């Protein structure tokens, strides 16, 4: 079963996530295809951020280490198409199946696409804003864009599917033909795919992390700690060091090992015992004014769950630049104001600032 990913950085402002929604009025195609993707997410255990610049599977981890055989590619692809077809049928709308599948297949089969990726984003953003297609060509353009987006997501997440089988499953249901799979068997088939995908992705991420840390340990200036955390001192602080559980202001930037940024804050209030384990260990070794680059193994970062909102895949290694700006002492007007950059709960509340402002 799918489980919502929990944010390891409690109340991090950038971890707010709002699911797109559509009015089923003048945009039945958008509503319908969005329903397809949403239901497939729930059944297959994969959360796709449909309108983001990238997507990754936020996979359930309850059975991550259980033995699950590799699913039959044709069977699971057909089941996926069937599931899309059933949602189309239940919605009562008349989707241009061929247009949607053309966009999907062009991407998955490596053919030239009618739209650039930037155009896909533009078309979908207009639909998201409630702008009706207007005419038949515009409606087809939207359907093609949705198919392309779905295909790009499948491709980027490494899903091994057969586009022809997806199309056949979708079409069999849409045309009322006998299906090769019973509807009652769909959940079990897609669950098998979920478990296999979870395990394979975990193995891939762990292998990549091990290779990265083995190489990085040999880099100049990198210190390796017993639990696997690695760090490089970029700037040495000369002021006081925080105590355990002190409130502190930090500046941070989080990236993947390939350099892609996933999170940043310029003035963030937390505790030395807050955030991921890698943060906790590093911050308690730093002095005010220090700036470190920390290389965090998966088990000291977001673990098996990953972080869906930040688009951190399960078992990912991450890199943070951490700068310890100041220790927040009792009565500090920057505590508990509720402004962006505040990462604490109500127990740390304080009066609103008057003369001093930490923003």
Q: What is the CATH number of domain 217-348?
A: 3.10.50.40
Local structure of residue 247 (DSSP, 8 states): E
Quote the pLDDT of residue 223: 97
pLDDT value of position 93: 52
Residue 67 is predicted with a pLDDT of: 52
pLDDT of residue 344: 55
Determine the average pLDDT of the residues in 46-51. 32
C-beta of residue 315 within 8 angstroms of C-beta of residue 252: no
Q: How do the domains of the chain map onto residue ranges?
A: 15-203, 217-348
Give CA separation, 248 vs 245, 266, 280, 334, 337, in Å.
Answer: 9, 13, 12, 10, 14
Q: Which of 73-82, 300-309, 346-355 has the lowest average pLDDT?
A: 346-355
Distances (CA, A) of 122 to 21, 118, 149, 198, 212: 17, 6, 11, 32, 36
Residue 238's pLDDT band (boundaries 50, 70, 90)? confident
Gap between the Cα atoms of 113 and 106, Å rounded:
6
Element (H, E) at 52: none
pLDDT at 280 over 80: yes
Residues 126-147 have a mean pLDDT of: 79
Q: Report whether pLDDT(63) > 70.
A: no
Residue of 118, 2, 113 lying closest to 57 (CA atoms): 2
Contact 201, 304 (CB under 8 A): no
What's the CA gap between 201 and 243, in Å, rounded?
38
Given a contact cutoff of 8 angstroms between Cβ atoms, the answer to whether 179 and 172 are in contact is yes
Mean pLDDT across the chain: 75
Q: What is the CA radius of gyration of the chain?
A: 24
Q: From residue 261, give the alpha-carbon distance in Å to each of 4, 28, 215, 245.
A: 23, 35, 21, 28
| pLDDT per residue as tens digits for the range 247-263 | 999 999 999 999 999 99
Candidate from 36-40, 95-99, 217-221, 320-324 with smallest mean pLDDT = 36-40
173, with CB counted inside 10 A (0-12, 13-18, 19+), is buried
The 10s digit of each residue's pLDDT in 283-304 is 999 999 999 999 999 999 999 8
pLDDT digits (tens, 9 = 90+) for 164-191: 999 999 899 988 999 999 999 988 888 8
- Of the chain, the end-to-end C-alpha distance in Å amounts to 42
Q: Can you tell me the distance from the alpha carbon of 152 to that of 158, in angstroms, rounded to the nearest whole number?
A: 10
pLDDT band of 151, cuts 50, 70, 90: confident
Of 346, 353, 285, 282, residue with least CA distance to 320: 282
Instruction: Inform me whether the pLDDT recorded for 357 exceeds 60.
Output: no
């Amino acid at each position: 079963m799918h489980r919502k990913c929990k944010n390891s950085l409690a109340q991090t402002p950038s971890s707010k996530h709002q699911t797109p929604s559509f009015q089923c009025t003048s945009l039945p195609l958008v509503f319908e295809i969005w329903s397809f993707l949403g239901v497939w997410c729930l059944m297959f255990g994969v959360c796709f951020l449909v309108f983001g610049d990238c997507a990754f599977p936020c996979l359930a981890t309850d059975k991550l280490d259980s033995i699950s055989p590799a699913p039959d590619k044709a069977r699971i692809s057909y089941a996926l198409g069937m599931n899309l077809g059933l949602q189309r049928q239940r919605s009562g709308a008349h989707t241009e199946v061929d247009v949607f599948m053309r966009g999907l297949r062009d991407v998955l089969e490596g053919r030239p696409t009618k739209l650039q990726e930037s155009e896909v984003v533009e078309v979908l953003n207009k639909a998201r804003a409630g702008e009706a297609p207007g005419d038949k060509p515009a409606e087809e353009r939207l359907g093609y864009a949705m198919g392309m987006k779905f295909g790009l997501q499948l491709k980027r997440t490494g899903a091994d599917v057969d586009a022809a089988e997806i199309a056949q499953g979708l079409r069999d249901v849409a045309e009322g033909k006998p299906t090769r799979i019973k509807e009652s068997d769909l959940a079990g088939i897609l669950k098998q795919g979920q478990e296999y995908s979870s395990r394979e992705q975990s193995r891939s991420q762990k292998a990549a992390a091990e290779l990265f840390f083995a190489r990085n340990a040999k880099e100049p200036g990198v210190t390796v700690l017993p639990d696997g955390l690695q760090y490089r001192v970029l700037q040495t602080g000369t002021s006081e060091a925080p105590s355990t559980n002190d409130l502190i202001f930090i500046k941070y930037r989080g990236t993947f090992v390939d350099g892609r940024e996933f999170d940043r804050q310029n003035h963030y209030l937390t505790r030395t015992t807050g955030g991921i384990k890698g943060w906790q260990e590093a911050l308690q070794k730093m002095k005010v004014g220090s700036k470190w680059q920390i290389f965090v193994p998966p088990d000291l970062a977001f673990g098996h769950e990953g972080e869906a909102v930040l688009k951190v895949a399960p078992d990912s290694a991450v890199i943070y630049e951490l700068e310890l700006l100041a220790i927040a002492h009792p009565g500090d007007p920057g505590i508990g104001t509720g402004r962006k950059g505040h990462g604490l709960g109500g127990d740390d509340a304080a009066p609103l600032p008057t003369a001093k402002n930490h923003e």
